[in-house]
Structures are given as structure tokens and as C-alpha cells.
Amino acid sequence: MDKPLVKMMDPTLAEMGNHLSDAMKILESGKLESEQGKERRKLSWKDIPGPLQGDGQDVVSILQLVQNLMHGDDDKQGQRRMQYVAEQGHMALLGHSLAAYISVLERERLRKLTTRILSDTTLWLCRLFRYENGSAYYHEDDCEGLVNVCRLVINTHYEDYATEGFTMLSSKHPVIYQSAACRPGLGQHLCCQLGLPLSCLCIVPCNTMFGSLHQMDVALLDKLIRDDRESGKVPLLLIANAGTPGAGHTDKLSRLKELCVQYNMWLHVEGVNLATLALGQVSSAVTPATKCDSMTLTPGPWLGLPAVPAVTLYRHEDPALSLAAGLTSSQPVEKLRALPLWLSLQYLGHDGIVQRIKHASQLSQQLLEHLKTLASIKTSVGELVFIHLAVCLLEDTKLSFSASSGGSVEGYFAGDVLDALNRWLGEQLAQQVPLSGVDVVELEDEGTCVRFSPLMTAAALGTQENDVAALVEKLGEMIPVLSCTLRFRQDFKDEVLQQASLSYIEDLSWPGLGGVRYEPRTTDLDEDKRQHSVEKINGDLLKKLMELDTDLYFSGGPEFCEEKNGIFIGMATEDLDVAELVETIVSIGRDIEESGKLFENMTEVVRRGIQEAELQLQKANEEKLIEEGVFRQIPLVGSVLNWLSPVQASVKGRTFNLAEGCLDSTEPVYSVKAQMNKEASLDSPKSITKRFPGQKLFRRQGAGSDSVSDTSSVNQLEESFREMAHVQASDAEEAEVPQEHHVHIVEETALSDQRVPEGQETESVDTLR
């Protein structure tokens, strides 16, 4: 049956479909160039803009160039987070190619074809979303439909607006009302496009005492409209939400419609919950949207269709005013905007469209049911079908924490700290469960929250029930880590403030225990030298801490942190020993500071040591001369005398102590007991307590298996942080040389630079050993 259809198809259309299929296979295959191909491409400078090649290129070469530009230097397919383009997505992409091909038809045939496409698509959408007797305007920008609707309403209220223009508006100012929970910048964009002053925009607050905090205050809106009418203004249009952008709440559409009818206003509704109108059972809060004057739909993200236009459905009886407002066009080519949507809707069918929206509904309900079993979770629920999830730590959990400083724990842990932890939580969830589609949003009342909106992401990412289960599992692992970090944050601050050599860095935007800086005890340096010393010591300290066998994450701080030269500690677990952590930081910092002082004074120490060695060598030579006599110093006579009567001279060994800057006797060095004590003193810092085999640093002894499992989850959460921290530490720090190695180098330098009297080479070496 397929072969006759292929023969009957226009050859150009068949070729177009084949070319699109081949192109999508190449771009989606994920097969990048080989290493030789990359080197050849680098040498050919194809990525640098330049003149066109005279002989042109074939299709495969051009698509390969597009693929290289799309993926850049990524060598791993897992690093690319691209939208999942299913078969219906291919139909949408084919629609753009067909629109270009159809536009070359003769005018009459083009008019008939575009009229059919436009009427079919409008009819299907009106029936799907229960919007009877509506017209449709297809537009690329989400706000463009609302702008043209406003032009239509202005032309309706001001009969002479087409001829008089803005002078008609100056006598009676129009007023556009919108909720405070609408998209940011929407009202300003409308005024800019319509040429209206911002005084024509009225922001209606949400309920502050009664009802939802995200719904428009209807009583206050009624008062604002009456006041504007009494002052001679014209209430023009009201923008309501059926699913706020942040949390998915729906305004009281039925009461808002009554107000609009009472004051002869236009009601426009937008929001994600309008998709529920396609289901068999619609929420009573969303159902009144079918009676509004206009609504804006975004079927692209709802159905996983790339590059399809948004649709504004509206009702108006005068086609001339619609044409003047730009909602309709006499140009057939502009009507081809609906072609990608026309193809995709036919491919999916009514059942396929409803199934995708229903699937998103089930994902939301599944997550909501699982969240009821987790503690310290607060959900901000819009419609029961589609939930924009706001995950944040409950304020009640703050009340159980102890404040040893006597301050308000609730005040300390409120606001920025919780926002930072929730931001970290959202970033970790998005990274570890990318198919869930969660993102981080800023809500006016709740603050930073994690949003789960499957209707906007599930179709594009291919989210399934197992992805939601993985999301809940990760949440169960991270919530205890967040709670422990909050509990230990104040304890860490108190421990740091008790140390004279440490200063606490107060950064509420850091998601972890907090920040600390080691302060050198030297006060005789000027400000520049002291700043350099602080930078060097804390840089070396950060490197030492990162090399320790621990699950804690150490970093140089946030990217835009105002405090410099700090060490920031990440998330904590239940078995963390805060006192041991701070004591270890102090101990390592003190060792680095003392080692740094030794290196700074190295030149002066060596110079003084060499001078003292020269004086002692000269004195030893004089004593030898007195003891042996003058004759033994004559080369030939001295050899005969030494052979006949050898002299038993005592050799006094010397060692050069860099720490003290003086020469000492070598007698203690050859003492076995002293040597063993010296080796014992070079062990690890005293603050690092004895641990059981396999036990990490900074863990309290006797920790149970639960703590170990929690720590293992932290390892998985913070692997990406550790890689980034090692890169920052390697770039910002100088390589350290062990202290013993420096000692040997200086000893060898002192030996080579000493001026030894002739004939006393052997003795001089012995004296400096």
C-alpha cells in the first residue's frame, strides 16, 4: 500500500522528507569527528568566518560543520542536554521546510491551501481546549498575542483611535490591570509596544490576609477599578493567571469574569494550567477560563514540539478591527505559521495529545504522594493536577536547633541561608536526575525553591515514572545532609571564634558549614606584606586540607565572594566532629606559618651561619697551628714529622641548625635516643586523633552504620565540587617543598660557599657535617 502512495507523492516533497530524515540522523547520531578529523579541521580554519569557497560544499560537509558548531568540543554524549526530538517533533521541523516550499506556489493555490491549514488548526485547538466560536492568532513570541489583543481592545473602546491616535488616549487614560504574580516584565513590555506610559499599568497585589498568597486580591481589584473610573480613566484589560509562572496557582477566574462584565473590561488568561482543559475532567478553578475573552496557549512545551508557534485564542465579532490590530493578515505567507502545528496535531491525534498531558498529570501526582513521606519538605501546590513543587526546609526544623551564643536561631537560619541550601539542592537534583526537569526559581514569599513542572518539561525530556522515583530517592538522601549542615553551622562558628588564629567569614550565600581564614600571628609586617602572607598561608592550607582523607568538601569560596583568601567547608554529616575539624585547621595552619617564617629568614640565617662557621674554622686552624707547631705546616718537613711522630688531633664535628641560625655540636645527632625522638616529632599533626582502620577524618568514634551510609551519599553529591576545587587550588597555589628537603639544600649551599684555608679541606668538611 505504501509503494503506490510514494509513487503518487510529489517527488519534491518526497525528496524534502528524505533530506530532513537524513539530516536529523546525522545531527542526532552523536558521532563526532575522529582525532585526525579534528586536527584537519583545526588546520583548515573552517570555524573562523571567511569568504565563501568558490566550488561550494556538499550537504554532508555542511551538516558536519553544523554538528561541530552545535556540540563544540564536547567528547561525551552525556554532557549534552538537548531536547528529545520524537517523531512528532520531526513533523514540526518538516513543517518549516514545507512552509518555504509552499510559499512559491501560485497565489490562488497558495490562498486556498493556507486558508485550509489555518481553519483546520483553529478548529482543532478550539475543540481541544473547550473554547467555542474562537479565532486564533499564531505568533512566535509569547507576548505578541497579548500585545495585539490590547490593540484590539483599544480600537474597540476608542472609536476614532485609528484616525486620531494617541490624542484620544490623553483625555481618558486607559488602564491595564495585571496580577503581581504575572510574568516579570510583562506589563512593561505591553506599555513599550503600545506606546503607553507606565502610569497606564496597574499591578494588583495578591491576597495578604485571606486566601492564597499567589491569587489576585479580587476585593482590592474592585476598589482600584472604581477609583480609576471616578478619576476619568478607562479600565481596559485584565490579565489573569491560570497557573502562575512560579508556583502554578490559578486566580479566581469566575469572580474576575464577573468584574470584567460589570465594568466592560476584557479578560485575558494565560498560564500552564490551561492545558488541563484538554482532559476529560477539568478542575473547577480552571473551567471558567473557557468563558474569557482571550487566552494564550503554548502547545510546544506541553506536547514536546520544537519550534511551533504559540496560539492566542480570542472572540471578537468585527473582523475589520481584528485586521487593524494585527490579529489577522491578508498575506497568505503569514498564515503558514500554523503549518508545523497543523502537521504535528494530525500526527499525534486527539488521543495522543490528551495522553501526553495526562502523563504529565500523573507524574505530578506521583511526586506529591512520595513527598508526603519525607520530613522537612514544604510544597507549594497550584492545581491538584499540575503542581509546581517548591521544596524548602520547614521553618519548624529551625526551632529544635540549639544556639550556644544565645542569639535567635530562627533569625540566623532564616532567609539567605535557607535560600543557599535550597539552591544547592536544586542544582544537585538537576545534575544527578537530569530527566526530571527540575529547576531553581525565586518566589517572593517562599524564597528560593526547587520547581517540578512536568507539563513544561516531561514531553521534551521524555520524563518517566522511574525518573520521579529517582528524584524522590535523591531527595531522601540529601535532606538529612541539609539538616545536619544547619545544625552544625552555628557550632562551627562558635568553635572558630574561640581560636585566636582564625577568623570566621560570614557568607550566608554559601551552602555549607561556613568559611574560615587563618590569620598569621606576625604583626610587624606592613599591610601589603601581611596580605601576601595571608594569601600564601591560606592557599597552602586549602591544599593541605584537600589532601586529607575526609569526606568534607573544601573550597576557596563562591565565585563572587567578597571575602578573599578564605577556606569554605561544604556539607556536613551526622558524625562530624566540629571541634576536631577546627583544631586540625589551626594545627596545619600553624605548621605552614612556622615553615613560611623559616623560608623567609633563610637568606639571613645562611649568611650568619656561614660567617660563624668561618670564624670557628679560623679559630680551629689557629689552635691546630699552636698544637702542632710551625714545622709541621711546611709541606715536606711536615710529612716527615707526621710519619715519624703522628699527632692525635681531636676532630670537633659541627651541624648547621637552620631553625636557630647557628652551629651546634654533632654529638646529639649520633645519639640513638635523640634520633628516634626527632623522627617521632615529624609525624602527622597532633590534632589528628587516632582513628580506626577505614575511619575518615573528623568523624566521631562510635558512629553507626547510618552515618556511614549518609557520608557515602555525600561523596556522590560532591564529586563534581571536588574536581572543580582541585583545579582552583592548583591554579592559585605555589608548589610546596618539604622542610627537610630545604634543609639539605641549604646545607649543601653552605658547604660549597665556605672559604676553607689551603690544606684543611678534610677537616672543614667534617666540621660542618
**Distance (Å, rounded) from C-alpha 158 to C-alpha 168?**
7
From 718, 695, 409, select the one nearest 577 (Cα to Cα): 695
Query: Distance between CA atoms of 660 and 327, rounded to whole angstroms?
Result: 89
- Helices (H) then strands (E): counts for the chain: 29, 15
Residue 56 lies in a domain: no
Is 543 a member of any domain?
A: yes
The answer to whether the CB of 129 falls within 8 A of the CB of 297 is: yes
Same domain? For 223 and 168 the reply is yes
- 571 CB burial (10 A radius; 0-12, 13-18, 19+): buried
CATH of the domain at 162: 3.40.640.10
CA distance 610 to 752: 11
- Provide the H-helix boundaries in 182-331: 186-194, 218-230, 253-262, 299-303, 319-325
178: CB partners within 8 A, 6+ apart: 186, 187, 201, 202, 203, 204, 238, 239
The pLDDT of residue 635 is 72
> Which residue, of 593, 620, 639, is where some domain finishes?
593
- Residue 14 confidence (pLDDT): 67
Q: Which DSSP letter does residue 735 get?
A: P
308 and 288 within one domain? yes
What grid cell was written down for 611? 660567617
Could you give the angle at the alpha carbon of 479 between the alpha carbons of 477 and 483, nearest 5°?
A: 130
Burial of 65 (0-12, 13-18, 19+ CB in 10 A): middle
User: At which residue does the C-alpha cell 500526527 appear?
Assistant: 347
Instruction: Give residue 180's Cα distance to chain centre.
Output: 27
Regarding whether 365 and 272 lie in a shared domain, the answer is no
Which segments in the chain show pLDDT lower than 70?
1-50, 53, 59, 70-90, 208-212, 375-376, 379-415, 523-525, 560, 597-604, 625, 627-634, 636-638, 640-654, 656-663, 665-696, 698-769
The answer to whether residues 567 and 530 belong to one domain is: yes
Q: Does the residue 729 lie in any domain?
A: no
Question: What is the DSSP pairing of strand 294-297 with strand 266-270?
Answer: parallel
Judge if 507 and 468 occupy the same domain. no
Residue 650 neighbours by CB distance under 10 Å: 5
Quote the pLDDT of residue 138.
95
Integer Cα distance of 348 and 354 in angstroms: 9
Which residues are registered as beta bridge partners of 663? Answer: 656
Picking from 575, 593, 611, the residue at the C-terminal end of a domain is 593
Terminal C-alpha separation, the chain: 100
Contact in structure between 380 and 389 (CB atoms under 8 Å): yes
Determine the Cα angle at 424 with ends 418 and 427, to 5°.
140
Is residue 364 domain-shared with residue 321, that is, in the same domain? Answer: no
Integer Cα distance of 634 and 625 in angstroms = 11
Query: Do 153 and 258 sit in the same domain of this protein?
Result: yes
518 lies in the same domain as 477:
no
Q: How many domains does the chain have?
A: 3
- 280, 168: one domain: yes
CA distance 53 to 483: 62
- Angle CA 331–334–339, to nearest 5: 130
pLDDT tens per residue, range 173-229: 999 999 998 988 999 999 999 999 999 999 999 886 666 677 899 999 999 999 999
For 470-500, letters b (16+ CB in 10 Å) and e give bbbebbebbbbbbbbbbbbbbbbbebbeebe
Concatenating the DSSP letter of every residue in 636-703 gives: HHHHHHHHHS---PPP--EEEETTTTEEEESTGGG-HHHHHHHHHTTSS-TTS----TTPPTTB-TT-
Cell numbers found for residue 233 = 480613566
Q: How far is CA 689 from CA 495, 616, 663, 695, in A?
A: 17, 45, 36, 11
Residue 587 lies inside a defined structural domain of this protein: yes
Could you tell me if residue 554 is inside a domain?
yes
Co-location of 147 and 276 in the same domain: yes
Residue 249 covered by a domain: yes
Among residues 558, 593, 628, the one where a domain terminates is 593
Beta carbons of 455 and 275 less than 8 angstroms apart: yes
Whether 578 and 449 share a structural domain? no
How far apart CA 191 and CA 163 sit, in angstroms, is 20
Residues 183 and 271: their CA atoms lie apart, in Å, by 10
pTM of the predicted model, to two decimals? 0.72
- Co-location of 170 and 312 in the same domain: yes
Flag whether 129 is in a domain: no
Residue 234 counted as domain residue: yes
- At what angle are helices 87-102 and 339-371 packed, to 10 degrees? 160
Q: Which domain holds residue 387?
A: 359-395+413-482
Phi–psi pair at 312, nearest 5 degrees: -110, 115
**Angle at which helices 578-600 and 465-497 pack, to 10 degrees?**
60
